[in-house]
Structure 1
Amino acid sequence: MITFKRLDHFHVCVPPNRLEEAKDFYGKVIGLELIERPDHIFSSPGYWFNIGNVQLHVGVEEPLPRSIRHTALEVTDVDAALIHLQDNGVEILDEPVIPGRKRFAFIDPFGNRMELLQIL
């Protein structure tokens, strides 16, 4: 048996020529805190961001076809998050209803799917 403590980080990929755009999207549009990344230990560029007590790691990779793979993040006000992303032209996807959760997904400019949810 494995006993888990918490999620530490998740990683999304962006095309190599769009890394700086990803830094702006996650830092300015989404509003995440850019944190230090130990670049000297990695062979490819990237950025790290704080999301509460979890980190988002952004790295480079040639794009893959869109899929249903995603990360789900709990937020305090899913309606406000939806409006904010719509106001910034982010692609929104409806999600099936799950009792006790209000949720939607979005596609970042690089094809990564993310779900935001609020526990009701």
Structure 2
Amino acid sequence: MINFKRADHFQIVVLPERLEEARIFYTDIIGLQRIERPKFNSKGYWFNIANIQLHLSTEEAMPRTSRHNAFEVTDVAAARLHLQSHHVEFLEEPVIPGRERFSFIDPFGNRIELLEML
């Protein structure tokens, strides 16, 4: 058995030629704080999200799949309005009792779910 303590980090990928655009999206639109990354990780950025990290790196081919990262937020309606003001693509999620949620697709094809516990 594995006893998980907490989520440490999530990794998402973008095409190499869009790395700087991704950095701007995640800092200026999403509002994440950049943090130092190890030198061996030559292409990409790391960010803080509450008490976990988001690792942004590059890949050549990125098909859209159902894989995603999910983050609990304090006001999912406000998050939706903020992302709508930046013309971000949304996906509606099936209803789960006790949760208000939606997913969005970042400009690089990554699916991210935001949820609020009711």
Q: Under a length normalisation based on structure 1, what TM-score does the superposition of the two structures give? A: 0.96
Residue matched to 1:51: 49
Q: Structure 1 unaligned runs (5+)?
A: none
Aligned-residue Cα RMSD (Å) equals 0.7
1:63: how far off?
A: 3.0
Percent of aligned pairs sharing the same letter: 64
Q: Structure 2 unaligned runs (5+)?
A: none
User: 1:109 pairs with 107, 110, 116, which one?
Assistant: 107
Instruction: Map 1:1-120 onto structure 2 (within 5 A).
Output: 1-38=1-38, 40-42=39-41, 44-120=42-118
What is the identity, as a one-letter code, of the residue corresponding to 2:37? R
Q: Under a length normalisation based on structure 2, what TM-score does the superposition of the two structures give? A: 0.97
Partner SS state of residue 69, structure 1: coil
- Distance in structure 1 (CA, Å) of the matches to 2:2 and 2:64: 31
Number of residue pairs matched by the alignment:
118
- Distance in structure 2 (CA, Å) of the matches to 1:72 and 1:90: 16
- 4+ residue stretches of structure 1 with deviation over 2 A? none
